[in-house]
Structure 1
């Protein structure tokens, strides 16, 4: 029975032996917050720029998560709005805020289309990975901001 279930999952949801490679952090290119903002010789401007650009990227990914988890949509929507407000606050701390990299509308559409092109199962897994990485990003961001202040 286990072999039968294994093949059914592989056929229906693409949960195959080699599917674990889709879970590698690099497959989505999610923003990472490195520890350089926590070092004594950090560059405040670069740190805030990195935080703002990462938050912009996650804002787009959170649109996807909100759509995938419709039952939790309000919670994710609130998270997305809070992220947007945090981006605005961090941008005020960047001297050349207009240089903070953002995805243009076309790039956002391409990214979302790529996320939606996966099977339903992979979309749910992807949404969970986005939330996991967003949590790590925010934890390091909070530590960096406390250090800067």
Structure 2
């Protein structure tokens, strides 16, 4: 818990930017901050989101010389990466807590191989990627989901991280850096949705059945 507190202490409270598309905002949550039984994970989630944003911007500037943040020339490159979708029941309409948190945890497990690839091949200091990985692991471990569901998710994890890293590592440097850009961009969107989930469940009274 010391590490968690240290990470949270580095976050300054700031609103998350408005989103669009699959990562749309939650609308009209019922705020009841008196429910002390709900752990406030929003600062930790924002901390991870901020690191991912900064890494994406820095990589665009350092490698692609796109320091104004515009990456339109890279939009043609796509990868099938995990995202929080409406069918995952993570939005206010038809919100289902267990299914939503299960999907967040499962999709982080899928992201690990991609983030490990980023850590290996990113051009600037990889320590921030380490912080992002360890912080996301802490966040996922603290999500209020029963242990037997977590165990079932772990057993379902079929991803072959070593094979992916080996395959991508054999490519040219340009292709590797493009892959890093796409991974970071999508991880930012994943964390954007995750921030909204932890912000939402923080204000759900424990008496409400989900």
TM-score (norm 2): 0.53
Structure-2 separation of matches of 1:38 and 1:21: 27
Structure-2 separation of matches of 1:78 and 1:111: 22
Structure-1 separation of matches of 2:168 and 2:107: 18
- Consecutive aligned runs of 4 or more in structure 1 exceeding 2 Å deviation: 101-104
Structure 2 unmatched runs, 5+:
1-73, 203-210
Does 1:85 find its partner at 2:138? yes
Contact 2:115-2:133 within 8 A present in 1 as well: yes
Structure-1 separation of matches of 2:146 and 2:80: 24
- Alignment length, in residue pairs? 124
Structure-1 separation of matches of 2:124 and 2:173: 15
Structure-1 separation of matches of 2:146 and 2:179: 31
Does 1:29 find its partner at 2:69? no
Q: 1:128 to 1:21 in 2, by over 3 A?
A: closer
Q: 1:135 to 1:94 in 2, by over 3 A?
A: farther
Partner of 1:132: 185
Contact 2:113-2:162 within 8 A present in 1 as well: no
Partner of 1:114: 167
| Structural RMSD (CA) | 2.1
Structure-2 separation of matches of 1:94 and 1:139: 24
Q: Which is helix-richer, 1 or 2?
A: 1
RCO higher in 1 or 2 (8 Å CA, sep ≥ 6)? 2
Partner of 1:146: 199
- Aligned-pair CA distance for 1:133: 0.3
Q: Secondary structure at the match of 2:93?
A: coil
Q: Secondary structure at the match of 2:157?
A: coil
Q: Secondary structure at the match of 1:137?
A: helix
- Aligned-pair CA distance for 1:22: 6.5
Q: Secondary structure at the match of 1:38?
A: coil
